[in-house]
Amino acid sequence: MLAQVPLIISILFISITIVSIVWVYRATGSKTFLLIVSIWAIIQSILGLSGIYQNTDLPVPLIMPLGIMPTLIAILACLTTSKGKKFLKLINLQTLIYFHSIRIIVEILLALLYQIGVMSIYITYHGTNFDLLSGLTAPIIAYFVFNQNLKHPKLLFWWNALALLLLLNVVITAIFAIPSPFQKLAFEQPNIAILYFPFNLLPTVIVPLVMFAHAVAFFQLQGTKNMVQNN
């Protein structure tokens, strides 16, 4: 752990990770999903505590091949395999849209980490991170699309598209701000925090869960579109 980070912030980050896992589990209703993600979070916690991600001499930060890429492969497998597609169809999309509101708390914690000096300004709403808008609008979108019985698939599609772009903007910027030969910006104050536990759980657990939520939305919306066209 980073000594300069107050313990309460670390505890909050761990709590947000647990809440994210449980929230998405409630949407899936799959104990297998819960088990897999929980084991993955434990593995990432061990890697974060071991200090392996803090090796900044490699051309590519280890958190990318060991923490980020496996989650992207898992999401891709869900979208392209028959079992994965069957699983995605059964997920409660309304719960997942509300889940995006977790991004509000994450952004606040990122801003606090920036103030402490362990996170780049580019990864906060003080810089080029506008992901807070996704969290603020998520419950509004979910309410009007689901609770008011209004069928707005296009609204949901475009909100997901814009929210995903905002997320990708943060992810790409964060990668280029990690202290390593791969670094391209934020040299005065790089993203040190995500190389340490529990903050390494952000790019390896929380962000993949948010991306998964977007993937489910696009998959189910495409299925709805196909049903309408067939009818």
Q: Which tens digit of pLDDT belongs to each residue from 90-144? A: 999 999 999 999 999 999 999 999 999 999 999 999 998 999 999 999 999 998 8
With 60 as the cut, is the pLDDT of residue 227 above it?
no
User: Residue 1: inside a domain, yes or no?
Assistant: no
Single out the residue of 103, 209, 98, 121 nearest to residue 173, CA to CA. Answer: 121
Residues 145 and 152 sit within 8 Å (Cβ to Cβ): yes
Domain assignment of residue 134, yes or no: yes
Share of the chain above pLDDT 90, in %: 77
First to last CA, the chain: 56
Flag whether pLDDT at 148 surpasses 70: no
Q: What is the pLDDT of residues 200-223, one digit of tens each?
A: 999 999 999 999 999 999 999 987
Instruction: Give the range of the structural domain holding residue 189, as residue numbers without chain letter.
Output: 7-230
Number of domains in the chain: 1
231 Cβ neighbours under 8 A, 6+ residues apart: none
In a domain, 17, yes or no: yes
**2: in domain:** no
pLDDT range class, residue 224, cuts 50, 70, 90: low
For position 207, what pLDDT does the model report? Answer: 98
| 1: pLDDT strictly greater than 90 | no
pLDDT at 231 over 50: no
How far apart are the C-alpha atoms of 24 and 28, rounded to whole Å? 6
pLDDT of residue 184: 81
pLDDT above 90 (res 196): yes
- Tell me the pLDDT tens digit for each residue of 155-193: 899 999 999 999 999 999 998 888 888 788 878 888 999
- The predicted-structure confidence for 41-98, as pLDDT tens digits, reads as follows 999 999 999 999 998 888 889 999 999 999 999 999 999 999 999 999 999 999 999 9
